Amino acid sequence: MVRSAVVPALENVTLWHERDISHSSTERYIAPDATGTLDFALNRMAGVIEQLLVYPERMKANLDSLGGLVFSQRILLALTQKGMSREASYAAVQRNAMEAWRGNASLLALCRSDKEIAEFLADDELGALFDMRYHTKHVDTIFRRVFG
């Protein structure tokens, strides 16, 4: 609802200084509808956030149960940055990710034993790609910006 108001609002920008009253009809509808809907959505989300329960240990267990699959994109990007073609990188990561998905081993263990990946990534480089701190490194900055 709110998003649908953007296009007519932008189309009215060019008419702000010289127009007849017919163009304001759009604003008479979208202003109260969009702001009322946005107010409702923000209040609902505030309630969700205020009552949200976070279980860090459960979150970690859920991530760990995926066998490292959440790091597959980092592997793919690292391989392409090291000179492997995008197509070959995708195939190598997908091949190992599917084995990890089937529960045969962790993605890290599979990638470490993959000769094609080893041509481009050293063992320590590969291990560094599986560091969750990469994804959470800006959390404190974000919280400071949002909550002061």
Per-residue pLDDT for the chain (148 aa), expressed as one digit of tens each? 889 888 888 888 877 777 667 677 778 888 899 999 999 999 999 999 999 999 999 999 999 999 999 999 999 999 999 999 999 999 999 999 999 999 999 999 999 999 999 999 999 999 999 999 999 999 999 999 998 8
The backbone torsions φ and ψ at residue 84, rounded to the nearest 5 degrees and listed phi first, read -75, 145
Q: Note the pLDDT of residue 118.
A: 97
Residue count of the chain: 148
| Residue 12, H or E segment | helix 6-13
Residues 6 or more apart in contact with residue 66 via CB below 8 angstroms: 100
Q: Note the pLDDT of residue 22.
A: 65
Residues 6 or more apart in contact with residue 11 via CB below 8 angstroms: 26
Alpha helix segments (H runs only) across 14-138: 24-50, 56-64, 72-81, 86-101, 107-112, 115-118, 123-128, 133-136
Q: Note the pLDDT of residue 1.
A: 87
CB distance 61 to 96 below 8 Å? no
